[in-house]
Amino acid sequence: MESYRPHIILSAAVSLDGKLATRTGDSELSTKKDKIRVYKLRSKVDAILVGKNTVEIDDPLLTVRGIKGKNPIRIILDSKAAIRPSSQILRTSSKIPTIIVVTKMVKKKNLDKLKKFPVTIQICGNHKINIKKLLKILKEKKIKNLLVEGGGITNWAFVKENLIDEAIITITPYILGGNSSPTLVDGKGFSVIKKSTTLKLKKTTKMKNEVVLYYEK
């Protein structure tokens, strides 16, 4: 791992055919037991990161629930600062430290809406969020480990730069199909296999009808 950035863990639950959700956005793939495992993982990291689309579709809290443990700092990639004021992320921002990452092209009216909430607004990049620059800023903020629970586009932003140090993926028994259903990693994708990110299988655990795969660099 490069010293300029946090240790990065990619975490997700996917269907047997690699989907994060159905074509309508239904992402309830995990069992209660697997969700508890994820909450334990969240309690051990400094921060958790998702993209705006995940907030828009799932309206998550990104917290630790059902067990004792601290909530990680929440980081939302939202280049246009278009996150809804009614989102659970903003409505709970007075209780849980939250960073909204935007670009220099953000509209003033969107920033003004965001400034009504007790969040940290981090400008990072011109037209697109600069992931490597952001990671350097997060490391300077004493964030040593970062959990990425993004959708396919956000995950690709990290994968394409070979920034994933660990991947913890739950394989669930569903086959969802659908050309428009989001996959674990979307985006442009690699042109040839030899250029792709390659990880080593560290261990597997079985939970009834699910398998959790643990990979690392």
pLDDT band at 1 (very low <50, low <70, confident <90, very high): low
Model pTM score: 0.96
**pLDDT, tens digit (0-9, with 9 covering 90-100), for 105-150:** 999 999 999 999 999 999 999 999 999 999 999 999 999 999 999 9
Instruction: Say whether pLDDT at 210 is over 70.
Output: yes
Does the structure show a pLDDT above 80 at 15? yes
Closest CA to 5 of 167, 160, 140, 98: 140
Please state whether beta strands 98-102 and 120-123 pair in parallel, antiparallel, or not at all (unpaired): parallel
pLDDT band at 3 (very low <50, low <70, confident <90, very high): confident
Asked whether the beta carbons of 36 and 191 are under 8 A apart, the reply is: no
Task: Write out pLDDT tens, residues 44-86.
Answer: 999 999 999 999 999 999 999 999 999 999 999 999 999 999 9
Return the pLDDT at 205.
Answer: 97
Name residues whose C-beta falls within 8 Å of residue 21's C-beta, 6 or more positions apart in sequence.
27, 29, 57, 176, 181, 182
Please give the share of the chain, as a percent, with pLDDT higher than 70. Answer: 100
**pLDDT-based confidence at 2, cuts 50/70/90?**
confident
Residue 95 DSSP symbol: T
Domains and CATH numbers, the chain: 7-216 (3.40.430.10)
Mean pLDDT of the chain: 96
